[in-house]
Amino acid sequence: MTTLLTADDLRQSLAEDARTGLSASPKWLPPKYFYDERGSELFEEITRLPEYYPTRTERALLTERAQEIADASDAEVLLELGSGSSEKTRLLLDALDRTGRLTTYVPVDVSASALTQAMDALAEERPGLVLEGVVADFDRHLGQLPTPGRRMIALLGSTLGNYDRPGRARFLGSVAAAMRPGEGLLLGLDLVKDPGQLVAAYDDAAGVTAEFNLNALRVLNRSLGADFDPDGFRHLARWNAEEERIEMRLVAQDPARVELSELDLVIEFDKGEELLTELSCKFRRDSVAGELEAAGFRDLRWWTDPDEAYALVLAKR
Ligand code: AVJ
């Protein structure tokens, strides 16, 4: 396993982002710090909720289309950004295996523990597969990722939706810059649909998403010596129709004063003040095609389920 991002680097970038975001108005935090051990568990739980259709829709699509995707990609290497538990990856690995060209799987994640777990399981299941895990932050290390053959780079789970439009242009531009001609980018994307269904997916009846959102405060408490009282905040998921995205926030139930001892920072919340913790942008075929082409991708292929809830897109560099 290669480490481009140590636990200390991650803490350092959390410190910088928390200082910037919590001092801003309105206040915000980037979602990548949700995924500590508890956060990753809660996210896995979210993917099994009845309201949260993206994971199971993506899995069904992959089950049906993995072979077409693998054939079209012509890849020798699957590099997966934000691989997490590498659960859906197996469908792609099986299909790539059947092309006879697959040699290597490169899972990339900010969580060393998630990577180790996923790689241990895969090593056992697939003795012939070379595993080159990389602990990295794909906002920083795209240019340093391994190229042990022609790659298909996968970003599944609609993770691209965490970026706003300018963020996506920057991200897709860096991905394109890190790729060789003929390599493929596979994106899983959640599509624009009925707002009621979208809000339900981010505000489930069992309250798991609320716990996931509030866990961000626990991460700050532990990593930065903060003293947030999670009980003093409420989970909010709102559909922003203009920007076509779900916005997750935490709302202060009362005025609050929070000390972040390791940042030497005190922040104040008014009653009702909101902290933006996550954007989850939803996509349309035409705008995705435009954004990919603008970033330097070509030969787009698009697969969707019968309800057009979710899409897989393969683009070539
Ligand atoms: C992993 C970022 C794609 O936006 O749907 C799920 C995270 N947040 N429920 C998403 C998430 C709340 C998820 N992504």
Cα of 159 from ligand 1 centre, angstroms: 7
158 lines ligand 1 (CB under 6 A): yes
pLDDT digits (tens, 9 = 90+) for 266-282: 999 999 999 999 999 99
46 lines ligand 1 (CB under 6 A): yes
278 lines ligand 1 (CB under 6 A): yes
Mean pLDDT of the chain: 96
Cα of 101 from ligand 1 centre, angstroms: 32
Q: How far apart are CA 54 and CA 305, in angstroms?
A: 11
Q: How far apart are CA 73 and CA 87, in angstroms?
A: 20
Nearest CA to ligand 1 atom 13: 159
Q: Identify the pLDDT of residue 265.
A: 97
Cα of 201 from ligand 1 centre, angstroms: 9
> Which ligand 1 atom is the nearest neighbour of the CA of 212?
12
pLDDT at 36 over 90: no
Q: Identify the pLDDT of residue 45.
A: 96
pLDDT at 86 over 80: no
Question: Which CATH superfamily hosts domain 53-194+283-316?
Answer: Vaccinia Virus protein VP39 (3.40.50.150)
pLDDT digits (tens, 9 = 90+) for 174-209: 999 999 999 999 999 999 999 999 999 999 999 999
* Domain definitions of the chain by residue range: 53-194+283-316
Q: Calculate what percentage of the chain has a pLDDT beyond 90.
A: 92
Q: Which residues make Cβ contacts (< 8 Å) with residue 78, sequence separation at least 6?
A: 89, 92, 93, 96, 102, 104, 105, 106, 151, 152, 154
Q: Identify the pLDDT of residue 254.
A: 98
Q: Identify the pLDDT of residue 83.
A: 86
> Which ligand 1 atom is the nearest neighbour of the CA of 82?
1
* Most informative mutation of 58, 280, 282 for ligand 1 (most atoms within 8 A of CB): 280
Q: How far apart are CA 237 and CA 173, in angstroms?
A: 30
280 lines ligand 1 (CB under 6 A): yes
pLDDT digits (tens, 9 = 90+) for 230-254: 999 999 999 999 999 999 999 999 9
Q: Which whole number is the average pLDDT over 134-158?
A: 95
